[in-house]
Chain A
Amino acid sequence: MKTLGIFLLSAALLSALETPGSRENPTARSKVLELAGAFANDGYKIRDGYWSGVLEPGKPQILAVNLFAGNAYWFSAAALAPARKLSVTLFDEKGRPLEGELFQDGSTAAAGLLPDASGRYLVRLELVEGDKADFCLVYSYK
């Protein structure tokens, strides 16, 4: 968590590097895995499971997750064009927003959390700018 700046820089640099194949025809999943890869470099394990679908302006989607105190988490999301700006926000089970670390860069975004109690949490994914687009969310833990 303390090395957020390094993560963000790595993530942005990764997206600046040309990677043939994924660059030519990226899917929302390949795009989000690029972002999550930056966290993996700091020991975070990326879950194989993912959440994907279509995100529309003004219609945020909310996902329930179950987290453990003692672990650190990053929730990474990406959307394809015409999405232009995405946000990921974390809430406790009662819907109260949680303070954590946030990353936002165009149509990729991430939120990090060190939960102080085990249990259910909520992840809100919102299309802030742009039009209806495919999205994918993965999470990493360590």
Chain B
Amino acid sequence: MSFRGAIFSAVHALFLAGLLAATEPLTKEQIQSAILTETVTIPTPGEFFAAMDEQGQPNWTQLFSPASAGNTASREQMAFMLGVLVADGYIAVEAQDGQGVKNTGKDIINLAKKLNVSQSVLGRGNSINDFAENNDWTALREELEATQNEVKLSMTEQKDKDLVILVTVGAWIRGTQAASGFIAKNYTPGLAGLLRQPAIVEYFLAELGRLPERMQQDPLVAEVQQKLRDTLALVHTKDRTPPAPEAVNDIAATMSSLVNDIARGNKES
């Protein structure tokens, strides 16, 4: 395409923007046929935090309180914890805490090793270090998501596909803990509206419900399921109204207790 052609295309496209405005609504069948794909349908903690930055300007340094993983042989707990650490990485990026990002990156890689992920994931640790060294926060956000996706891909390739959803849920729980803790102390309807994520919680519950019976009997998995059900009742508000202050307090308490149990390991695990 020539430059003149390119410019013409751009102008042509601008005109199309107006012409495409009239669109029929989707039918019920079309809505029900919507595809849910974890890597796109579920937002990253980074997206959540970007929206918080727009509405509340949290002090991310205060919110960065990285969880440390207790020793456990439970692969379920390790998968949840991996997600928690990924969310910690995003919080460290928001806090622009280079050392915090490096430490969290190291913890992610160490835990990933225990789960026998592929060598390619381990190389991500070096990239995280390099970007943190250069304070390249945008690249770090991308690298954290890419690391998480590569860990999940490696799990899938090693027939550990069932652990993938636990990583995603772990990241969401830690992200929601940080967000709800801040919102509970600085309540505004706009900020609280960010916690209204019933579709995500429903998706998690459906996916956890598909796990093999053996995994569902894991006390930590069972606890997460139960507390997500409790959370769904709090975030499933009518007509997209934001959760009330009391509900935000409850969400914050629930998420904190889950993060603690993931880090410590459910005592029955």
Contacts and interface: CB of A to CB of B under 8 A. Distances in A.
Contacts, number: 168
Contacts of B42: 66
Contacts of A87: 20
Nearest to A124: B26
Interface stretch (B125-133, B188-196, B219-227, B258-266): B188-196
Contacts of B118: none
B21 A104 contact: no
Contacts of B73: none
Contact of B40 (A13, A63, A89, A142): A63
B6 A13 contact: yes
Chain B CB within 10 Å, residue with most, of A61, A70, A87, A94: A70
Contact of B197 (A45, A66, A138): A66
Given A47-B145, A69-B190, A95-B26, A16 B6 contact: yes
Interface string A88-100: 0101011111010
Contacts of B119: none
Contacts of A122: 26, 31, 34
Interface string B1-36: 111011101101110110011011111101101111
B207 interface: no
Nearest to A49: B39
A138 B190 CA distance: 27
A13 B7 CA distance: 7
Interface string A107-128: 0000000000111101010000
Interface string B142-157: 1001100100000000
Given A13-B7, A119-B196, 4 more contacts: A47-B44, A62-B30, A71-B50, A138-B40
Interface of B: 1-3, 5-7, 9-10, 12-14, 16-17, 20-21, 23-28, 30-31, 33-44, 46-48, 50-52, 54-55, 138, 141-142, 145-146, 149, 190, 193-194, 196-200, 240
Interface of A: 4-5, 8-9, 11-13, 15-16, 45-51, 60-71, 87, 89, 91, 93-97, 99, 101-106, 117-120, 122, 124, 137-139, 141-142
